[in-house]
């Protein structure tokens, strides 16, 4: 709702007098909502956003501009602030619907901030703009972090800008990767080899026993007389793992693999976030 005031001036015979001040209001008929199907975010993934514009009035809106701040936030000291954008528009991802019918793609300036122009909303109708944004290296990753993403609609005869926001929290689930190394790569018959499995966690949430992480492998050739360590501690079968020397099938007991959380630090100059993953190491040694 926009408030406006007006006052008249009367002049006669060199005398000037003012009228009373009238006050009116312009009732907004365009509303906006911003939503995503995502429950949380992780670095590097694409988030799909949908902006819904509803016109409850009897006149259409044309020539609207939608500006998305891509989660902008301030970083640095008051004298030299930086504006950081944790989201990056995914080129070519915009879809534009009017009353449920797909329209030609509107003009897009990737920014940041993202700007989409030429949006129209018919009287008593709606428009939906759908697009993707990728979570980039300026997105905070520590526990409890959030990205608040705001869209502003202007132009087209609007008395005031219309805004809508959506807030996503960082994922509270572990994000694990695994690499496997062999040492030595050349071994004599009946010699010892060691498989080293490095499990890295890129999340602020640790992989705990309740996550039931497990490693399985089919050793070929099968190993004999294996010994197993996890983070330097000796493991025993069947409490920690199972192994079939005939088939070479090795498997850790679900939940015995745990991995600490990653740590996150923000570069003091650029504001980019650096991730040091939490790491656990599983080693299996045996005779071939």
The stretches in the chain having pLDDT less than 50 are none
Cβ–Cβ under 8 Å, residues 206 and 213: no
**Neighbour-count burial of 175, counting CB atoms closer than 10 A to its CB (0-12 exposed, 13-18 middle, 19+ buried):** buried
Q: Which of 97, 106, 39, 42 is nearest to 68 (CA)?
A: 106
The model's pLDDT over 199-253, given as tens digits with 9 standing for 90+, comes to: 999 999 999 999 999 999 999 999 999 999 999 999 999 999 999 999 999 999 9
Q: Which domains does the chain have, with CATH numbers?
A: 30-170 (2.60.40.740), 176-287 (2.60.40)
Cβ–Cβ under 8 Å, residues 152 and 67: yes
Sign of the torsion formed by the C-alpha atoms of 265, 268, 271 and 274: negative
Side-chain-side CA neighbours of 281 within 13 Å: the count stands at 8
pLDDT over 70 percentage in the chain: 97
In this predicted structure, what is the pLDDT of residue 211?
97
In this predicted structure, what is the pLDDT of residue 3?
63
In this predicted structure, what is the pLDDT of residue 287?
95
In this predicted structure, what is the pLDDT of residue 255?
97
**Neighbour-count burial of 256, counting CB atoms closer than 10 A to its CB (0-12 exposed, 13-18 middle, 19+ buried):** middle
């Amino acid at each position: 709702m926009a408030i406006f005031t007006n006052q008249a001036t009367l002049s006669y015979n060199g005398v000037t007098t003012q009228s009373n001040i009238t006050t009116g209001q312009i009732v907004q008929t365009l509303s906006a909502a911003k939503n995503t199907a995502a429950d949380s975010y992780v670095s590097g993934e694409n988030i799909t956003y949908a902006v819904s514009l509803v016109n409850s009035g009897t006149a259409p809106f044309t020539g609207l501009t939608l500006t998305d701040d891509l989660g902008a936030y301030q970083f640095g000291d008051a004298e030299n602030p930086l504006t950081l954008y944790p989201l990056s528009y995914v080129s070519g991802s915009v879809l534009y619907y009017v009353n449920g019918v797909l329209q030609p793609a509107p003009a897009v300036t990737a920014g940041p901030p993202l700007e989409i122009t030429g949006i129209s909303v018919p009287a008593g109708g709606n428009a939906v703009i759908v697009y993707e944004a990728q979570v980039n290296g300026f997105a905070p990753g520590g526990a409890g972090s959030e990205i608040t993403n705001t869209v502003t609609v202007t132009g087209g005869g609007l008395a005031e800008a219309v805004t809508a926001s959506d807030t996503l929290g960082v994922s509270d689930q572990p994000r694990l990767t695994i690499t496997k190394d062999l040492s030595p790569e050349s071994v004599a018959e009946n010699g010892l080899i060691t498989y080293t499995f490095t499990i890295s966690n890129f999340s602020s949430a640790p992989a705990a026993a309740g996550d039931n992480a497990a490693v399985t492998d089919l050793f070929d050739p099968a190993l004999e007389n294996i010994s197993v360590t996890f983070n330097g501690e000796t493991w025993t079968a069947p409490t920690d793992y199972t192994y079939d020397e005939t088939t070479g099938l090795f498997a850790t007991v679900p939940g015995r693999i745990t991995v600490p959380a990653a740590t996150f630090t923000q570069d003091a100059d650029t504001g980019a976030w650096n991730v040091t993953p939490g790491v656990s190491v599983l080693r299996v040694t045996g005779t071939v």
